[in-house]
Amino acid sequence: MIDTSDFRNGLSIIMDGEIYTIVDFQHVKPGKGGAFVRSMLKNARTGAVIDKRWRAGEKMDQAILERKPMQFLYMMEDEYHLMDNETYDQITVGKVAFGDAVKYLKENTEVTVLMHGSDVISAELPMTMELEVIEAASSERGNTASGGSKPAVVEGGAVVQVPFFINVGDKLKIDTRTDSYLERAK
């Protein structure tokens, strides 16, 4: 058990059966009345951010979270099969664990899984992925490397805005957090 005096950014707690991470907090001691702590909490599963007010000294359970590197093996229906890199144990997780970034997932990708005990909270892809363009509009004559962009579909089905000079078959480096083109892969 921890109390509000132990709060720090990044600490994970259990509240109402859900795991929350403290994004921000502030101890407030008004001139009249008791001291309290104002906090912003992020739900570890859904990503929703809430404001919560605590009485000074209020107690709650701390959630011990573990980050594990795992390898994505394959997808069957809506289940994603992952393998622990150390023990070679396999687990299955739902699409929700990856969130919107699931569109960049391809076999043998190294992912980071956030776990609480044996429960999978979320799974994160690397910040950048190298993906091949499978569909792109043809470039028009006169378009240059420095002006404008066009939509392109990369493996996995994600649509990314790319410069005009990108063609089908090119390998691109994509930022999975912002869904943006970074550069051609070498």
Whole-Å CA distances, 46 to 18, 20, 117, 161, 172 = 10, 10, 18, 27, 30
Residues 55 and 72 in one domain: no
Q: Is the dihedral of CA 6, 124, 78, 73 positive or negative?
A: negative
The answer to whether 175 and 100 are in contact (CB under 8 A) is: no
Domain, as residue range, for 175: 128-184
Residues 134 and 119 in one domain: no
* pLDDT (tens digit per residue) in 68-104: 899 998 888 888 899 988 888 888 888 878 777 788 8
Examine the pLDDT at 144 and tell me if it is beyond 70: no
Last residue of a domain, one of 62, 82, 108: 62
* pLDDT (tens digit per residue) in 9-19: 888 888 888 88
Last residue of a domain, one of 74, 109, 124: 124
pTM, rounded to two decimals: 0.69
Residues 116 and 80 in one domain: yes
Give how many domains the chain has, as a whole number: 3
b/e code 105-128 from CB counts within 10 Å (16+ = b): beeebebebbbbeeebbbbbbeeb
**CA torsion angle for 39, 42, 48, 53 (degrees, to 10)?**
-20
Last residue of a domain, one of 124, 140, 167: 124
The amino acid present at 61, given as its one-letter code, is: D
Q: Which residue from 99, 94, 91 is spatially nearest to 118, judged by alpha carbons?
A: 91
Whole-number Å distance between alpha carbons of 16 and 50:
13
Residues 94 and 113 in one domain: yes
* pLDDT (tens digit per residue) in 21-76: 888 999 888 888 888 999 999 888 777 889 999 888 888 888 888 888 999 988 88
Residues 180 and 133 in one domain: yes
